[in-house]
Structures are given as C-alpha cells and as structure tokens.
Amino acid sequence: MSGTDSVTVSTLVAVDAATAFEVFTAETDLWWRRGPRFRHPGRPGALRFEPGEGGRLVIEDAAGVPEEIGRILVWKPAERLVFSWRAASFEPGQTTEVEILFRAVAEGTRVTIEHRGFDALPADHTARHGLGTGEAFLGMMGLCWADLFVAFGDHARRGRNE
C-alpha cells in the first residue's frame, strides 16, 4: 500500500495503551461520530470491529445486516491495528489502508493514525469531494480523522473517570 498520498494524525489519551486499544476497537460505535461526513447515510446502524486478524470493520443497516467497510490485517492489542478501508463510493478493487499505533507515554497513550493509499483513487473520485489529489484533499481527510480523534479521546477520558 503506497504511503505517498496519506494523512497522519496523533492524539494523547489519558489512559493506558490496553484501555485505549479496547476503547478504539470495542466501543467504536460509541465514539465514532455520526452523520454523512463520517458514516454512509444508508447505513445508520452500529459500527463495530470483529476482533482479530481477518476480522472485519462493519456497519449495520437499519435491519442489522452488516456491510464490510474493512478487513483487519494486523490486530495487536495495546500496540497496533491495521485494516483496509472501503468507502461506500469505492469501486471493486479500490481500497485504502488505516494503521493505528498505541504508544505508552508518561501522560497515558499516544495514539497515531495513518490513513494511506488515496493515490489508488482517481482525482475525480467522489470520495475526494471535488478536491482532487492535492493538499486540500489531504487536509480535509486529516481534519476528519482529527475530529474523530477528539470524540475518541473524550470518550476514553469519560469512560475512565466515570
């Protein structure tokens, strides 16, 4: 998977790496924002990981039928998660890759995400929102992940303090 067309975002969460991994993977639907910017409008149901390598990231439709968004490539609790990513508008064979690293630091856990492989999508692809292949598109994707990381960090902190 090429990393030449990628975004990287980091956040610090005040929980240990095992908890951060657990919140990220087991409580995904609780922190992952809703709305068309973050979820396919036709799939209003739960977003969840099926644990382990070979598992899936799925979102359910209103009837609870899961649709695969990605396939888990690496599952190392408290360390690393890598999965393929397919937006609803992707054609067969189009995929990107998401890698999340969990690193213990004095204040808790540094969580870093790299979403890569956008160069597999044509410049006029709908997932690019008319921004082409340049910095504007990558900036938009970075802001989307940053927004999700704010929600993730808030959820991890609340869960720890309640």
25-71 pLDDT tens trace: 999 999 988 766 666 666 667 899 999 999 999 988 778 888 888 99
Label residue 121 exposed, middle or buried (CB < 10 Å: 0-12, 13-18, 19+): buried
In a domain, residue 68? The reply is no
DSSP 45: S
Per-residue model confidence (pLDDT) at position 162: 47
DSSP 90: P
In a domain, residue 89? The reply is yes
Dihedral in degrees, nearest 10, Cα atoms 41, 147, 140, 135: -150
In a domain, residue 61? The reply is no
58-106 pLDDT tens trace: 988 778 888 888 999 999 999 999 999 887 777 788 889 999 999 999 9
In a domain, residue 145? The reply is yes
pLDDT surpasses 60 at 135 = yes
In a domain, residue 119? The reply is yes
Domain count, the chain: 1
In a domain, residue 124? The reply is yes
* CATH code of 25's domain: 3.30.530.20
In a domain, residue 122? The reply is yes
pLDDT band at 125 (very low <50, low <70, confident <90, very high): confident
In a domain, residue 21? The reply is yes
- Domain enclosing residue 153, as ranges: 7-31+77-161
